[in-house]
Amino acid sequence: MSAAQAAGGRNGGQRAHHLGDFTLTPRVLVVTAWALLVGALGAGAAWLLLKLIGLVTNLVFFQQVSTQMRAPGGHHPWYLVLFAPVIGGLVIGLMARFGSEKIRGHGMPEAIEAILTGGSKVLPRVAVLKPVSAAISIGTGGPFGAEGPIIMTGGAIGSITAQLLKFSADERKALLVSGAAAGMAATFNSPMAAVLLAVELLLFEWRPRSFVPVVAAVGVATVCRGYLLGTAPVFPVDATGLHLTPTVDVLCVVSGVTGGALALAATWLVYKSEDGFAKLPFHWMWWPAIGGAIIGLGGLIEPRALGVGYDVIDQLLTGKATVSLIIGILTVKTVIWSLSLGSGTSGGVLAPVFMIGGALGAAEGLMFPHVIPGFWAMMGLAAVVGGVMRSPLTGVVFTLELTHAWGAALPLLISATVAYGFSALLLKRSVLTEKIARRGLHLTREYSTDPLETFFTAEVMDRAPITLTERQPVSEALAQVSGERGHRLFPVLAADGSLAGVTTARELLAAAARPVAGAETVGQVAGPPQLVIREDHTLRQVAYLFAETGVTRAPVVAADDPGRGGIGGTLVGLVALPDLLQARLHDLTEEHHRQRTLPRQATAEPVAAAPEPSTEPAAATAVAAG
């Protein structure tokens, strides 16, 4: 909802009372009801995309009409392996240029961009072109996954549904992300991971108004997936005999470091490739065909690196992969995926990351102690997801839901978190946020409590503002506010001490210049306040109201005295825009001011606790200077 819609009520003070209250409302229930439909449609879109990929793969590599998912790797003519991805890339380039450029890329940055800058509005043709282009890309040998395109397709379904209704931008975002998460859940039978992905990557908030619709859509999509594709885990791992030791946990740290390093290398390759393609002296429409040539050359070296590779991931996670397959996937898949993705073709990142991470872990498993078949492949998978996507919790839960090896939760958490920390320490942005940054946008993936939400107006307001009275002559009032210039606000009090109105130095000067100035009183010059704040409002509510009304200063009345539009309330202070910085200064002080609060050695004499840092501007300035 907009600030004006959220405010409601009769006056500024009353409007602010509910501003920023994001608990469940009837509107959330309406959005949730529509999210149920979006979830079912998202599941259907995921099923359709997988069938379409199977159809294209069978037509191109096996010359059969079938929708069964098959791997393109195998004994195919060399010219088919080499040129099929080139032709697929050429078709995608034509679709992007003459259809919609939004089909380029792996889906998630495009969904994020639609949320950040497009009011969560996606064109209807994207919902059709994105899955078709992805099916062509993957079906002709592209080493990509189906999840990125289904995120964009499911998001487009949610966005289009919301655009057909009278929804706000935030409500459209809730349905867009609901569709995206529903598609993810239906593709991998991973409802928890899909919800976490939505929170960590797409929603940019954790509020009931968006969380509840997303969960509703994911729940419906997962149930629908059971009827369409079955309920079994996608890559089941037999965890019988799983026994974890401290040595295994320590080696998970090593797995996390190597996974983070591989994530850095892959991300670096993607954007070096993108930079290289940007320097080519011809239109970007031809770039996916060049990316296809890279894929074809890689396919001649390791045919199993082509396509979505679900069968290879299964072999890695069940400990059935050969050494040659592990090395081939780790090298060839990483290179052709990174370089071809930079060409702007259509395809997702999760399945390739699963495969690359699984291959890394399987390679480590050749040297590390045996735990269960596929154990170290699972660690590598979670680590690379945590490093590439900067979403460690998503990586852990994804791995658990894909394999149902629930006993491996702790080592997975160790590996994914170490890789995440390694990546965040050495790389400024992830494979997702870097692409957004290159489009001139800025976003943060860090979530914390808003400092404005932790302070009340009473804690920062001026408790002794200059006040005037209704019967006070204008000339006397001017003398009282001498030295104050511009639009500074002065509360005007009635005879009983209640708030009667407000005026400014400029209004008083204008009244003094009129011929009747001697007869005018402050009460005649004053007007009703445009905005009145209550002392129990948070600074976040005040910031919203300042933004809504355009004012930078407002009188503050007592919490238990609502008044009449502010008139008649008990004045307790004045709050101005600079006062809101007090909360930010406090947050800055808590982050950077370091002090010892306990003595180095215990002494017989009690030691006084160090004083808490002041939130006054002077104190904060001193801290910054020190």
The per-residue pLDDT for range 330-389, each reduced to its tens digit, is 999 989 988 888 888 877 777 888 899 999 999 999 999 999 999 999 999 999 988 888
Helical H runs in 279-333?
287-301, 310-317, 323-328
* For the chain, percent of residues with pLDDT exceeding 70: 84
| Res. 498 pLDDT band, cuts 50 70 90 | confident
| Res. 397 pLDDT band, cuts 50 70 90 | very high
The per-residue pLDDT for range 35-53, each reduced to its tens digit, is 999 999 999 999 998 999 9
pLDDT of residue 266: 86
Average pLDDT over residues 55-72: 89
Assign a CATH topology to domain 451-583: CBS-domain (3.10.580)
Burial of 340 (0-12, 13-18, 19+ CB in 10 A): buried
Q: Note whether 391 and 197 are within 8 A (CB).
A: yes
Superfamily the domain 3-228 falls into: Clc chloride channel (1.10.3080.10)
Length of the chain as a residue count: 626
Residue 435 has pLDDT above 70, yes or no: no
CB within 8 Å of 625: residues ≥ 6 apart: none
The per-residue pLDDT for range 533-570, each reduced to its tens digit, is 888 888 888 988 988 888 888 999 888 765 555 677 88
- Adjacent-strand bridge partners of 491: 502
CB within 8 Å of 364: residues ≥ 6 apart: 254, 255, 258, 376, 379, 380
Distance CA(138)–CA(307), nearest Å, equals: 5
Distance CA(37)–CA(24), nearest Å, equals: 20
The per-residue pLDDT for range 177-220, each reduced to its tens digit, is 999 999 989 988 999 999 988 888 788 778 888 899 999 999 99
**Beta pairing class for 499-504 and 489-493:** antiparallel
Q: Which amino acid is at 520?
A: E
Here the tokens at position 227 are: 């009827």
Residue whose pair of structure tokens reads 């950040």 in the numeric block: 116
247-251 contacts at long range (C-beta below 8 A, 24 or more positions apart): 247/369, 248/369, 248/371, 248/411, 249/410, 249/411, 249/414, 251/368, 251/369
| Res. 616 pLDDT band, cuts 50 70 90 | very low
Number of helices and strands in the chain (H, E): 27, 6
pLDDT of residue 110: 67
CB within 8 Å of 345: residues ≥ 6 apart: 89, 92, 104, 137, 142, 144, 287, 288, 291, 292
Residue whose pair of structure tokens reads 């069940």 in the numeric block: 318
Q: Is 249 helix (H, G, I), strand (E, B) or coil?
A: helix
What are the distances in angstroms from CA 356 to CA 313, 317, 326, 492? 9, 12, 9, 70
**DSSP output for 103-116:** GSB-SHHHHHHHHH
pLDDT of residue 564: 55
Residue 431 has pLDDT above 50, yes or no: yes
Among residues 306, 294, 235, 289, the alpha carbon closest in space to that of 57 is found at 306
Distance CA(259)–CA(298), nearest Å, equals: 22
Let me know the angle formed at the C-alpha of 597 by 595 and 598, rounded to the nearest 5 degrees. Answer: 130
Q: Give 40-93 as a 3 state SS string.
A: HHHHHHHHHHHHHHHHHHHHHHHCCCCCCCCCCCCCCCHHHHHHHHHHHHHHHH
Lowest pLDDT segment from 136-145, 481-490, 534-543: 481-490
| Res. 472 pLDDT band, cuts 50 70 90 | confident
Distance CA(592)–CA(613), nearest Å, equals: 11
Distance CA(274)–CA(574), nearest Å, equals: 54
Of all residues in the chain, what percent are helix, strand and coil, respectively (each to 5)?
A: 60, 5, 30
Here the tokens at position 165 are: 């209704």
Lowest pLDDT segment from 4-18, 29-43, 65-79: 4-18
Distance CA(156)–CA(124), nearest Å, equals: 7
Burial of 496 (0-12, 13-18, 19+ CB in 10 A): exposed
CATH of 246-437, one of 3.90.1150.10, 1.10.1530.10, 1.20.1440.230, 1.10.3080.10: 1.10.3080.10
CB within 8 Å of 238: residues ≥ 6 apart: 318, 372, 373
Tell me the Cα Rg of the chain: 31
Among residues 32, 48, 49, the alpha carbon closest in space to that of 178 is found at 32
Of 517 and 162, more confident? 162
Q: Note whether 503 and 522 are within 8 A (CB).
A: yes
pLDDT of residue 14: 38
Residue 3 has pLDDT above 60, yes or no: no
The per-residue pLDDT for range 259-303, each reduced to its tens digit, is 999 988 888 888 888 888 888 898 989 999 999 999 999 989 998
Going from N- to C-terminal start, the domains of the chain cover: 3-228, 246-437, 451-583
| Res. 32 pLDDT band, cuts 50 70 90 | very high
pTM of structure: 0.77
Distance CA(172)–CA(153), nearest Å, equals: 15
**CATH topology agreement for domains 3-228 and 451-583:** no
Here the tokens at position 584 are: 């930010």
- The answer to whether the Cα torsion of 219, 220, 221, 227 is positive or negative is positive
